[in-house]
């Protein structure tokens, strides 16, 4: 693994290559951006390039430092992860002891703090000291998808690097070159993954996506037929899949968008589910363009309410009532 094998994030990669080559890397970094877009991998790759014996700004993958990083046993690299829901004071203490000892093999010590927002208040206050007086040979890389939960004093002492999700096209081309997957399937997965290569791989490699796909289709049929008893049955699906509700709603939106596109254009090639044209025709029959737009709006609103931690059962019930009214 080196910068050239990371997908996307071109600007960040060339920036880090340059500052590492020129010996100008900041001693405290905060990589921020949505989950699953490769922030932790970027942190690892920065450390590896920094440790590499050849000092070119890119890891060579063959020197002893690179090999130790690849084997996950480099003595100068440490990752702190939440213990339960929090990164506790004791973990920061251990980290401070780790950086107090000179590096063994490399010229630096690198500590990655994953989900840095999970540092509790006393951990954040404790780490401030290290951030305020950074040692010459220490680099701290905090990684977070919720940087607003960090103290302003912590934020102000780190160089913040905002990383964005990947484009649908980048994800599609990655999936197609690494998996035997149809274009339509890759497109669907890219849309659902919203910029996260990690999530797109999860969909391909786990059964979650298959389950969601099947159940959402049944849900759409039940809504179309206004089949109350079936909907009641599907209630358990929403309870069971609470963790994946974001994807379920996104996937429902994809279907309604397809129906809308079909209504407006009748062009099969525009549809993500173009291979299921009969199903689309059947569902589109009973819904007007206005109703479809209203359904998509209801789903978007549901997503927003869930993001704001609204009552889960109530939000889902309201969504189903709205969809049934259409
Ligand atoms: Zn190397």
- Domain-located, residue 131: yes
* pLDDT at residue 185 tops 90: no
Domain with residue 31: its CATH number is 3.40.50.300
Distance CA 122, CA 158 (A): 18
**Quick one: 217 and 308 in the same domain?**
yes
- Evaluate whether residue 117 is within a structural domain: yes
Decide if pLDDT at 210 tops 90.
no
Q: Tell me: do 282 and 221 sit in the same domain.
A: yes
Domain match, 128 and 219 both: no
Please give the helix or strand (H or E) that residue 39 lies within, else none.
helix 39-51
Same domain for 36 and 120 = yes
Query: In terms of Cα–Cα distance, which of 80, 93, 145, 54 is closest to 64?
Result: 54
Structure tokens at 268: 């099969």
List pLDDT tens digits, range 3-54: 988 888 999 999 999 999 999 999 999 999 988 888 999 999 999 999 999 9
Question: What is the reported pLDDT for 135?
Answer: 87
| Residues 156 and 233 occupy one common structural domain | no
Q: Which of 162, 195, 226 is the last residue of a domain?
A: 162
Does the pLDDT of residue 302 top 90, yes or no?
yes
What's the gap in Å between 162 CA and the centre of ligand 1? 27
Residue 49 CA to ligand 1 centre (angstroms): 7
Domain count of the fold of the chain: 2
152 and 246 housed in the same domain: no
Coil vs helix vs strand at 76? coil
Q: What is the pLDDT of residue 250?
A: 87
* Domain ranges, residue 311: 207-325
pLDDT on residue 231: 84
19 in a structural domain: yes
Q: Specify whether 212 is located in the same domain as 156.
A: no
Q: Do 113 and 242 fall within a single domain?
A: no
Q: Cα of 63 to ligand 1 centre, how many Å?
A: 4
295, two tokens: 């359904």
Q: Is 183 a member of any domain?
A: no
| 158 located within any domain | yes
Which of 162, 181, 198 terminates a domain? The answer is 162
How far apart CA 223 and CA 295 sit, in angstroms, is: 11
pLDDT at 183: 86
56 CA → ligand 1 middle, Å: 9
Please give the distance, rounded to the nearest whole angstrom, from the Cα atom of residue 92 to the centre of ligand 1: 29
pLDDT, tens digit, for every residue of 46-80?
999 999 999 999 999 999 999 999 999 999 999 99
Examine the fold and report which residue of 162, 188, 219 is the final residue of a domain before the chain moves on: 162
Q: E strands along 2-50, which residues?
A: 28-32
Distance 61 CA to ligand 1 centre (A): 5
Distance (Å, rounded) from C-alpha 4 to C-alpha 13? Answer: 8
What separation in Å is there between the alpha carbon of 178 and the centre of ligand 1?
Answer: 26
Answer yes or no: is 198 within a domain. no
CA of 77 to the centre of ligand 1 (A): 15
- The span from the CA of 180 to the CA of 125, in Å, is 49
Interior/surface letters 140-178, b for 16+ CB within 10 angstroms, e for the rest: bbbbbbebeebeeebeebbebbebebbebebbbebbeee
pLDDT at 237 over 90: no
Q: What is the CATH number of the domain that holds 318?
A: 1.20.272.10
Ligand 1 geometric centre to CA of 48 (Å):
7
Whether 201 is covered by a domain: the verdict is: no
C-alpha distances in Å from residue 167, one per residue of 7, 38, 163, 188, 193: 11, 13, 12, 13, 10
């Amino acid at each position: 693994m080196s910068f050239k094998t990371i997908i996307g994030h071109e600007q960040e990669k060339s920036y880090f290559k340059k500052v590492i080559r020129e010996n100008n890397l900041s001693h405290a970094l905060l990589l921020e951006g949505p989950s699953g877009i490769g922030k932790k991998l970027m942190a690892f790759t920065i450390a590896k390039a920094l440790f590499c014996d050849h000092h070119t700004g890119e890891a060579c993958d063959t020197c002893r430092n690179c090999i130790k990083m690849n084997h996950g046993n480099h003595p100068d690299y440490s990752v702190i992860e939440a213990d339960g829901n929090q990164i506790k004071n004791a973990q920061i203490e251990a980290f401070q002891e780790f950086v107090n000892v000179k590096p063994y093999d490399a010229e630096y010590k690198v500590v990655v703090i994953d989900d840095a927002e999970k540092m509790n208040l006393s951990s954040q206050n404790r780490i401030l000291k290290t951030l305020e007086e950074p040692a010459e040979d220490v680099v701290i890389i905090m990684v977070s998808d919720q940087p607003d939960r960090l103290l302003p004093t912590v934020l102000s002492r780190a160089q913040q690097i905002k990383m964005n999700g990947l484009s649908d096209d980048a994800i599609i081309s990655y999936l197609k070159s690494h998996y035997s997957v149809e274009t339509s399937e890759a497109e669907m997965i890219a849309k659902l993954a919203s910029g996260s290569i990690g999530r797109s791989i999860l969909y391909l490699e786990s059964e979650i996506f298959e389950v969601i796909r099947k159940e959402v289709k049944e849900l759409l049929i039940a809504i179309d037929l206004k089949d109350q008893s079936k909907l009641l049955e599907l209630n358990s699906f929403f309870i069971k899949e609470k963790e994946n509700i974001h994807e379920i709603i996104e996937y429902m939106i994809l279907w309604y968008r397809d129906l809308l596109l079909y209504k407006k254009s009748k062009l099969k090639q525009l549809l993500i589910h173009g291979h299921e044209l009969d199903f689309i025709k059947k569902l589109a029959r009973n819904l007007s363009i206005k109703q479809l737009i209203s359904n998509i709006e209801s789903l978007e609103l549901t997503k927003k309410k869930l993001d704001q931690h609204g009552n889960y059962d109530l939000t889902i019930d309201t969504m189903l009532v709205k969809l049934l009214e259409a």
